[in-house]
Chains A and B, each alone.
Chain A
Amino acid sequence: MKAAEKEGRESTGSVWLVLVLGLLCWLPALLAAQGGQAASSKTLPPLVVVVSQKAELVDLSLQELKQIFLAERKTLNGKRVIPLDPDPHTPTRIQFDRIVLGMTPDQVGRYWVERKIRGQGDPPRTISASALLLKIVANRDEFISYVRADQLVPGVRAIRVDGKTYQDRDYPLQGEKEMASP
């Protein structure tokens, strides 16, 4: 009887040992798998503010950019400037509104509703397709807009923001991480 009890206790202990050892050995596999998911998330390219290749504008501050896209400023250095926005629900637009305007999409909507009630004018035109947006910006000196750095095409160029190019480390419109779908 005692021998059987002893064997039973040893068996239970072995089960626990197996379970713990097994868990410890599988843990690296689990961690590696998690690390594999994090490694697959990509960083979006930085936002670049674009004008026509023919335009004279080379540099803008974040404050001036905000004033232009909130329709508080219509000219820059004596020249007319016309902002164009991409679609409101894109990551590009949401990031730009958050960093430059300091607003969420709801706050942006509210801002423009209030301006219209005051009789202070309309928001910038929205162009949904980025290819079309860039074509339009390339066409006239007055237009200004923003896209991802990997969307640059001939005919437009990126300007500096706060004196920084989009390749600079402390460029204010750096891209954000986009998590890969599982």
Chain B
Amino acid sequence: MSLSWVLFSIISAAAGQVGGQTPTGTAPVDERPETVQDLRQEIDRQRHELEAVQEKLSRLEENQALPAGELDAAPQHFQPTLSFYGFFDLTLAKNQIRQGSLVSINQTDVTSFTQTSLNFYAASQLSEQLSALFEFRFSFMPQGKEPFEGTFERVSTEFQQPFLGSKFRYGSLTVDRAHMTYSFAGWLEVLAGRFLTPVGIWNVDHGSTVVIPMRQPQFMWNEMLPLAQTGLQLRGNGFLGRQLSLDYALTLSNGRGPADATFDVDENKGVGARLRLAYEKQPWSLSWGGTGYYGEISDYTKAVAISGDQIAIQKTTSFDLFETCLATDVLFQGRGLRLQGEFIWRKESAVKPKPLGVVEKLDTLGVGPTTTAYFIPSQIGLSYYVLVAYEIPLELLHGVRFMPYFQYDYYSGADLYDINVIHTLIGGLNVRLGAYAVLKVEYNRSMLDQEFLGTVNIYQSQLALAF
């Protein structure tokens, strides 16, 4: 019995050694000279056949025209293109407003779904140098807007079809930008039309799928400088070495006014300039930018004056002021970390002060002082924010990534009552669902200095999608 087992083990060992020598498990090769010679001849024959086929294939490739579909797709000669894309979002928000706070005048405290962005782009590349870009913003407003001018009134845009009887509520369309761009070189491009003011980071990013927090910084909300202009822009970039680049932009426009997208109400044009330096050394990058803007804001009324047989148009300036804005921005990022900040300083010099119409209305409620009219004096405003975000280096299924963020925002847009001092703390989480979608959850605490305004807590979540 034992001997059998030993014999078995010896045979087994021998088999294992043979198996180790032939890893593919094939049968041993017959190494007789005649067989090797035959095999060599066969290999030679097949090699010659292969070379002949390859030569034939090369000749065919040279002589054969490419399929028409592939030629059309090939950018050998420039072909104009037109593309459509955009982004939109759905937000669920709850404002927690203190009882009796005047913030309730134009903010709701009811949990609501809302769509704040529905932007549609049309972009055309007409030649290698000439392109056009249009960005439209659709909105369901002004339906439901609740302007408060002393008495409550909600805007209704509802109308009824005369024959079908069905009801509709019309919304609105704004043109965020519409401009053409001619590119002479990388360092010189000319934009003409309506363009976003080249300032900072937020105004350039501006899309809900791009920006990190859900709400605009206070300086944008309060338009401390024009966010869009109609006119001309020169811009370009250049490289100072392999890692350092410089961007610039110069703007000339109608500036700001009651109808600046359509016409200017004064002869003074708004002028602006921007410089941005960017340094990149993998995996880190740092950019620092500075922007300046100077312009006049005015308005007038017109009246027809008839005196005998003389007709005259009387044009009366309602208000006239000059604004100077200086802004700076910093962005530091790498390895998932993002540190971002913007600072704005604005000086408003009144030649003829702007009347503060809302205060006149508040007088009727016995809220403000009892004098009849107020004017906004020359003033200086300040605002800045600091944002810290970190994209956690953990990618779940289908590219899901997490980015917690925190932001502090300070705004002081001095006015008659110094009511507009706001401290805002924001904490949130962005969940990236691939390249096109992002889910945001955010808590926003805005602390307004004045007692009759108080603190507002905002709880909100948003799903934003680029298409």
Answer yes or no: A182 CB below 8 A from chain B CBs. Answer: no
A167–B61 Cα gap in the complex (Å)? Answer: 28
Question: From DSSP, what is the main secondary structure of chain A's interface residues?
Answer: helix
With A35-B23, A113-B436, A117-B210 known as contacts, the answer to whether A129 contacts B70 (CB < 8 A) is yes
Interface string of A8-32 (1 = CB under 8 A from B): 0011001101100110111111011
A136 contacts B432, CB within 8 Å?
no
Contact of A64 among B8, B125, B242, B434 (CB under 8 A): B242
Q: How far is the CA of A82 from the CA of B76 in the complex (A)?
A: 11
**Contacts known (A11-B5, A28-B20, A118-B204); A74 close to B186, Cβ less than 8 A:** yes
Closest to A28 in B: B20
Cβ of B177 under 8 Å from chain A: yes
What is the minimal beta-carbon distance from B340 to any residue of chain A, in angstroms?
14
Task: Select B239's contact among A7, A26, A73, A136, beta carbons within 8 Å.
Answer: A73
- Is the Cβ of A136 less than 8 Å from the Cβ of B76? yes
Which of B13, B75, B185, B434 has the most chain A CB atoms inside 10 A of its CB? B75
Chain A interface residue count, Cβ-Cβ cutoff 8 angstroms: 55
* Residue pair A17, B121 in contact (C-beta under 8 Å): no
Decide if B20 touches A32 in the complex (CB within 8 Å). Answer: yes
> A63 near B: Cβ within 8 Å?
yes
Segment at the interface with B among A41-49, A90-98, A102-110, A173-181: A102-110
Residue of A nearest to B205 (CB): A118
Question: Which of A29, A117, A131 is within 8 Å of B207, CB to CB?
Answer: A117
Is A135 an interface position by the 8 A CB rule?
A: yes
Are A110 and B242 closer than 8 Å at their CB atoms?
A: no
Tell me whether A21 and B9 are in contact (CB under 8 A): yes
CA of A17 to CA of B13, assembled, Å: 12
Query: With A and B bound together, what is the CA distance between A112 and B14 in angstroms?
Result: 63
Residues of A within 8 A of B123 (CB): 116, 119, 122
Which residues 419-467 in B have Cβ within 8 Å of A in the complex? 432, 434-436, 466
For chain B, the bracket of interface size reads 35 or more
Asked if B114 is at the interface of the complex by the 8 Å CB criterion, the answer is no
Q: A7-B1, A27-B16 given. 16 additional CB < 8 A pairs?
A: A15-B5, A17-B5, A18-B5, A21-B12, A25-B15, A29-B17, A29-B23, A35-B23, A36-B23, A63-B280, A72-B245, A73-B239, A75-B185, A110-B435, A118-B210, A122-B123
Closest 6 CB pairs of A and B: A109-B435, A25-B16, A29-B19, A117-B207, A28-B20, A106-B399
Q: Give residues in B with beta carbon < 8 Å to A.
A: 1-2, 5-6, 8-9, 12-17, 19-21, 23-25, 61, 66, 70, 73-76, 81, 83, 85, 87, 121, 123, 125, 128, 131, 133, 135, 177, 183, 185-186, 196, 204-207, 209-210, 237, 239, 242-243, 245, 280, 282-283, 395, 399, 432, 434-436, 466
